[in-house]
Structure 1
């Protein structure tokens, strides 16, 4: 026993030495630290926003200029532009004792001025190079405006569409979410953080924020560590392995302790187990909010956060106003403050700010690098690849570029709703609405437009979503009058295109909902349009999965376009008229109704599974609804048809360190060329903790011409067979595995293999 203990201790110190050697000290930073007073170190831990710029929260910092000159600010966010950035940097560099430069952050969630589709939409492309490119363009544009730190990507796993912030992430799956996390970090940061075209990424929200109870923002989260490790933490770990420079904490608690003050989360897991050596920033006033959580007054929670491993306090200024007192009362140590300050200074060093505080300030760059024709062209192409064809009815789609088209819906001609939620750096007035896009793509068609209905007739809802400007504009006419006009227009047309769904701020932060149906006024409009017997295409805009059982049963085609960004109208028109064949696949399951939530593809079996869709007493089911969702994860149709066959595996048995290859042939048997996302799911049949029914372990996006076939091969590597067991060890276990390959998570085409000792 003693020998084993000694060996364990020796291994620990070897690993610690390896980790420590990997985190080399930076002489320039250490020299600066040796000169700094306690107050100057505390000042570096303070992140503020001056207001009057980009709104991202309800609190605005005061006396910002004076605080910068007093050495009480480490970074700013919410401002941009070379002139403003230079003015603020001058305050820090020229008017403080040590001239420590600031860094400048911003929420650049899905593009800077060139706004791409919302992240949930981007994830639906299943194209990692495409996502990396959008992040690269965002970094190029943001740095041209002086911003060098981005509060993105958001990698929270989200399985409750009531939660509005599902719009900001990659959906429900940890494997796909991890791949997207890596792509986005690589796009923002590139290979050189000090390059003036790259910026530091900040992965958020650490951790578990997407599992807020009842889908209500900022709410409690409670889950086992097994679920954390296997389902909610992987995208964060992937971002760290990709080299992300910073991490933002979440608002929720983790094991009863709010994330911003959770030492297990920020130190034991993040730094000691995962080896993260960047810095950690709180979310907007989340340190102060620990008071409302019930953990003490501002001084107490600020000390708790610092001791836990939080380095920077966003806006709340609890660090600035209380840490000195806590130091004097020996509730924290000088080393606690120095360690946090060191990490902030190291980040500034990585950004090249000590070498040149003004390196990101170039008055020529905004005109050259921001919202260029090339960027808009890419935004248009990207958006088209995110749309998901939910339903095809007869041969309505693609549309012909001739005849008379009735374009119906408030969202069809609304610049204010094209960018979607969390696009604070974009200008909605520069967006292309769908009416304009259709006219651009089909100039020879006769377009008749009618509003048809307000987005909602609920005045309270309208007020709540119009916080950042008019997203829902109430028409002076009655709903009946607007609907009658739309019906008359529809009767004159060869086809109806009805643009329906959410206003942009009906999803996003502080936009949780308990009702995911389309607003009743829009449902009435759709019913009336269908009764005209004119073919109807629904273009559906939303930031989340919706409950559209009624609409799916109507004789209509449905194209989900999320919020497509600055080139919205042109991209939608490209897909409607067949210039691009829709290839998007859902990255979050669409429930039949809210009573099924949470519902996701990798759910586990119970001890009493229901073997079919037929109700059986004393099985896991509902009296009033089926178990199956409306639309499964990975789902998405095409104008053409893809046939899968000849699934093959290269070996029936594999050892724990071997790779197994799975191949499948895919043929385009339809009338159009197009992309298909081939998906691979794995089922571990028997293991020491209950396995999910299926887990995504691979995907490839391929292009097939009409009549073409391709063989797609996936390599399942040793880590793909592993999971975190009851002791949180990452292991694989011998036994049988089932492999499913197909077009979505419901595919039945499968093969098997055995993992042996």
Structure 2
């Protein structure tokens, strides 16, 4: 539809029809039978409102979406199609690793490809918009939604934000892909105490320097929507924040797409204490330019009275309605309200061999080898007896909490992957121990008492499993333990103060370790765990995250040496939970641990823990050894660009891919600067004994920060360049910015 026609359509709508476009309801409102009555009564809206809403939440599947669209359009006076929006975070039917695992690939190009494939499946299933990517920067592993983030660094997160948006929206205006709704704007990952839905309080400098860049990268990549976050910033809930939504997102960044609230966030302005009722909450949100109200009656019931009483302008509402109509028009919904969705298309694109192959590749690159004492890995197929044990050994729960549309039955288990390498004589298996000692916390997620009682092993079964595991372990040469968090212990509303392995698993691991066998620990988790005890008990540690549909195959390939691990951490692993929040790019302090003028206790340190993380940002091992030499700068002085080079040599007989990382320190600034900041990285393939020179162009633009007077600029002075395989093990050279 041409722009003039779209504006004519807008002008022809009544106020109830306009307001309807700004309301989003869930699929249970759209049943053809009386099942829709309950949700309507609960929310306090009637069928007239339902018949005019503009979008539907979390309904997918070609058959369902086409049926709902058909029924809706029959009632629609102007035949304005519904938008179907859904949580499709890291895969639709083909599930990739959780985003924290995607961050560990340090490979944005690969992740762009993964998200393009996700969009193809989602589009076939009738989804028009996905609430992804989540680009929140996270520095506190207690927060359950660490699972959805790509990590703690703004440069790395920005690279992934761009890749994910680009992949999802590939060829969008010509009928391809689906629209990306970036979330959660803004700074949601800094919730105090790592507690879900909690307050965020930070300086504007920190907000702009660290937390906003990844959202800006997504906006620059062309995302069509932005979702507001639940948290406050500077005392104002984001959904009603003119500063964040209007001043920064719309005016500074020029975003003219759709802003949608998170679930019920407009009505929650009342609970926050900045609005007294739905009417005031509605006024705050619409004046902040929040366009769509997700799952509350606020806009549906209060916008028209506010217009009639002259409390908000008609132009303000018209602009929001136009943005929604334009999105529908840009997606081609007026010409094809289904956007090609069909059951036949689903059968063609779901979980194809090509997608499985890509999922395995992504999963393989996401796995991080954290420890490999005595070169316990890789194992050689069928040359020794291997015991696979643990609650994740033969478990299809490898896709994590937020793979809403994935199917567990599609998942390749670790045991299934091992069976490709080991015959029955060399592969031993038993569960060994329960996932948790106590499953009652699942009641908060809707599980009934009867369901909870059926989840765990009985006491007799626990004893039997332990006895069986110890017997088999004595027969085995190597024990591989597949342990980790329960699926429901991470993700949204999965905040935890204890981020160690469940106690029943820790006790089991201790008993296995006492047998003095070669041991490898595979960790399944949605966050960095505290593994301080485990590093002492086992030889090898493989961090697998929730690795997705092909997780079992990918892990087997790594364990048995078919694939050389290349994953690198995008989020630090704490030595102790008491260190949190923690991140490598901390500010300098007047009394650092290495202070030349202060000693003993009077430096910045803990009395009962080391300062450093257990495993640092950027860290990861492989089965190869790479040597860094000859760090060189093109000049000791920089005007606009400085060329940085380093030689990397594979001093082993196994092909590898090295992630070369470049960091910078601004030695003196008008405000305190971080000890190190990531500025660039490259994935470099190296054959056995091969040496390559890796080049970086470091620019003045990359040295800019928010100065004392809050201008974004680079200040002349001394800088240090660090290059290495992670943030700690680096070579360094100095230069001066003129």
The question of whether the paired residues in 2 share the 8 Å contact of 1:143 and 1:196 is answered with no
Aligned counterpart, 2:689: 707
Aligned match for 2:40, one of 56, 62, 80: 62
* Deviates most, 121-130 or 80-89: 80-89
The question of whether the paired residues in 1 share the 8 Å contact of 2:389 and 2:432 is answered with yes
Aligned counterpart, 2:103: 123
Aligned match for 1:108, one of 66, 88, 91: 88
Q: Using the alignment, how far apart are the partners of 2:604 and 2:387 within structure 1?
A: 46
Aligned match for 1:632, one of 616, 626, 641: 616
The question of whether the paired residues in 2 share the 8 Å contact of 1:71 and 1:92 is answered with yes
The question of whether the paired residues in 2 share the 8 Å contact of 1:698 and 1:714 is answered with yes
1:409 and 2:390 correspond:
yes
Structure 1 residues 277 and 519: alpha-carbon distance in aligned structure 2, compared to 1, 3 A threshold: same
Question: What is the CA-CA distance between 1:66 and the residue it aligns to?
Answer: 7.7
Question: What is the CA-CA distance between 1:95 and the residue it aligns to?
Answer: 1.6
The question of whether the paired residues in 2 share the 8 Å contact of 1:586 and 1:635 is answered with yes
After TM superposition, list the pairs within 5 Å mapping 1:455-534 onto structure 2: 455-464=435-444, 473-478=455-460, 479-534=462-517
Aligned match for 2:317, one of 307, 332, 337: 337
Q: Using the alignment, how far apart are the partners of 1:240 and 1:381 within structure 2?
A: 28
Query: SS of the residue aligned with 1:461?
Result: helix
Question: What is the CA-CA distance between 1:674 and the residue it aligns to?
Answer: 1.2
Q: Using the alignment, how far apart are the partners of 2:515 and 2:50 within structure 1?
A: 70
1:41 and 2:41 correspond:
no
Question: What is the CA-CA distance between 1:556 and the residue it aligns to?
Answer: 1.8
Question: What is the CA-CA distance between 1:61 and the residue it aligns to?
Answer: 4.7
The question of whether the paired residues in 1 share the 8 Å contact of 2:25 and 2:56 is answered with yes
The question of whether the paired residues in 2 share the 8 Å contact of 1:61 and 1:315 is answered with no
1:250 and 2:233 correspond:
no
Aligned match for 1:724, one of 682, 706, 709: 706
1:395 and 2:354 correspond:
no
Aligned counterpart, 1:16: none
Q: Using the alignment, how far apart are the partners of 1:202 and 1:653 within structure 2?
A: 43
Aligned counterpart, 2:549: 566
Aligned counterpart, 2:603: 619
After TM superposition, list the pairs within 5 Å mapping 1:6-85 onto structure 2: 26-51=3-28, 61-62=39-40, 67=47, 71-85=51-65
1:302 and 2:298 correspond:
no
Query: SS of the residue aligned with 1:643?
Result: strand
Query: SS of the residue aligned with 1:340?
Result: helix
Aligned counterpart, 1:752: 734
Query: SS of the residue aligned with 1:754?
Result: strand
TM-superposition CA deviations, 1:654-700 (whole Å, max 9, x none)? 22xx2111111111112321111110001011111110000000001
Aligned counterpart, 1:733: 715
The question of whether the paired residues in 2 share the 8 Å contact of 1:466 and 1:472 is answered with no
Number of positions where the alignment pairs a residue of Structure 1 with one of Structure 2: 725
Query: SS of the residue aligned with 1:500?
Result: strand
Query: SS of the residue aligned with 2:428?
Result: strand
* Deviates most, 733-742 or 396-405: 396-405
Question: What is the CA-CA distance between 1:62 and the residue it aligns to?
Answer: 3.3
1:367 and 2:347 correspond:
yes
Q: Using the alignment, how far apart are the partners of 1:289 and 1:580 within structure 2?
A: 48
Structure 2: gaps spanning 5 or more residues: 32-36
Q: Using the alignment, how far apart are the partners of 1:741 and 1:633 within structure 2?
A: 14
Q: Using the alignment, how far apart are the partners of 1:501 and 1:52 within structure 2?
A: 38
Question: What is the CA-CA distance between 1:69 and the residue it aligns to?
Answer: 8.2
Q: Using the alignment, how far apart are the partners of 2:453 and 2:79 within structure 1?
A: 44
1:453 and 2:433 correspond:
yes
Structure 1 residues 612 and 395: alpha-carbon distance in aligned structure 2, compared to 1, 3 A threshold: farther
After TM superposition, list the pairs within 5 Å mapping 1:415-426 onto structure 2: 415=396, 417-426=397-406
Aligned counterpart, 2:559: 576
After TM superposition, list the pairs within 5 Å mapping 1:427-438 onto structure 2: 427-438=407-418
TM-score (normalised: structure 2): 0.95
Question: What is the CA-CA distance between 1:360 and the residue it aligns to?
Answer: 2.9
Aligned match for 2:134, one of 135, 154, 177: 154
Structure 1: gaps spanning 5 or more residues: 1-23
Query: SS of the residue aligned with 1:51?
Result: helix
The question of whether the paired residues in 1 share the 8 Å contact of 2:361 and 2:554 is answered with yes
Structure 1 residues 337 and 71: alpha-carbon distance in aligned structure 2, compared to 1, 3 A threshold: farther
Question: What is the CA-CA distance between 1:470 and the residue it aligns to?
Answer: 8.2
Question: What is the CA-CA distance between 1:462 and the residue it aligns to?
Answer: 4.9
TM-superposition CA deviations, 1:240-286 (whole Å, max 9, x none)? 11111100000001111101111111101111111111110000111
Query: SS of the residue aligned with 2:561?
Result: coil
The question of whether the paired residues in 2 share the 8 Å contact of 1:45 and 1:311 is answered with yes
1:214 and 2:198 correspond:
no
The question of whether the paired residues in 2 share the 8 Å contact of 1:285 and 1:313 is answered with yes
Q: Using the alignment, how far apart are the partners of 1:475 and 1:40 within structure 2?
A: 55
* Deviates most, 139-148 or 325-334: 325-334
After TM superposition, list the pairs within 5 Å mapping 1:546-695 onto structure 2: 546-611=529-594, 616-655=600-639, 658-695=640-677
Query: SS of the residue aligned with 1:497?
Result: strand
Q: Using the alignment, how far apart are the partners of 1:542 and 1:163 within structure 2?
A: 13
Q: Using the alignment, how far apart are the partners of 2:652 and 2:29 within structure 1?
A: 54
* Deviates most, 297-306 or 192-201: 192-201
* Deviates most, 259-268 or 467-476: 467-476
Aligned counterpart, 1:15: none
TM-superposition CA deviations, 1:542-593 (whole Å, max 9, x none)? 1101111111122421000000101111111011001111110011111111
Q: Using the alignment, how far apart are the partners of 1:452 and 1:53 within structure 2?
A: 46
1:279 and 2:262 correspond:
no
The question of whether the paired residues in 1 share the 8 Å contact of 2:389 and 2:430 is answered with yes
Q: Using the alignment, how far apart are the partners of 2:408 and 2:372 within structure 1?
A: 31
Structure 1 residues 271 and 286: alpha-carbon distance in aligned structure 2, compared to 1, 3 A threshold: same
* Deviates most, 539-548 or 715-724: 715-724
Structure 1 residues 517 and 472: alpha-carbon distance in aligned structure 2, compared to 1, 3 A threshold: farther
Q: Using the alignment, how far apart are the partners of 2:546 and 2:172 within structure 1?
A: 31
Question: What is the CA-CA distance between 1:444 and the residue it aligns to?
Answer: 6.3
The question of whether the paired residues in 2 share the 8 Å contact of 1:407 and 1:497 is answered with yes
Question: What is the CA-CA distance between 1:422 and the residue it aligns to?
Answer: 0.4
Question: What is the CA-CA distance between 1:335 and the residue it aligns to?
Answer: 1.2
CA RMSD in angstroms comes to: 2.3
Q: Using the alignment, how far apart are the partners of 2:75 and 2:683 within structure 1?
A: 54
Query: SS of the residue aligned with 2:581?
Result: coil
* Deviates most, 94-103 or 683-692: 94-103
Question: What is the CA-CA distance between 1:132 and the residue it aligns to?
Answer: 0.2
Aligned counterpart, 1:94: 74
Question: What is the CA-CA distance between 1:634 and the residue it aligns to?
Answer: 0.4
The question of whether the paired residues in 2 share the 8 Å contact of 1:409 and 1:451 is answered with yes
Q: Using the alignment, how far apart are the partners of 1:543 and 1:710 within structure 2?
A: 35
Query: SS of the residue aligned with 2:646?
Result: strand
Aligned counterpart, 1:288: 267
Query: SS of the residue aligned with 2:587?
Result: coil
Question: What is the CA-CA distance between 1:186 and the residue it aligns to?
Answer: 0.3
Aligned counterpart, 1:349: 329
The question of whether the paired residues in 2 share the 8 Å contact of 1:45 and 1:341 is answered with yes
Question: What is the CA-CA distance between 1:363 and the residue it aligns to?
Answer: 3.4
1:698 and 2:680 correspond:
yes
Question: What is the CA-CA distance between 1:411 and the residue it aligns to?
Answer: 1.0
Aligned match for 1:381, one of 361, 386, 390: 361
Question: What is the CA-CA distance between 1:445 and the residue it aligns to?
Answer: 5.4
Structure 1 residues 573 and 598: alpha-carbon distance in aligned structure 2, compared to 1, 3 A threshold: same
Query: SS of the residue aligned with 2:366?
Result: coil
Structure 1 residues 140 and 183: alpha-carbon distance in aligned structure 2, compared to 1, 3 A threshold: same
Question: What is the CA-CA distance between 1:751 and the residue it aligns to?
Answer: 1.1
The question of whether the paired residues in 1 share the 8 Å contact of 2:440 and 2:452 is answered with no
Structure 1 residues 268 and 52: alpha-carbon distance in aligned structure 2, compared to 1, 3 A threshold: closer
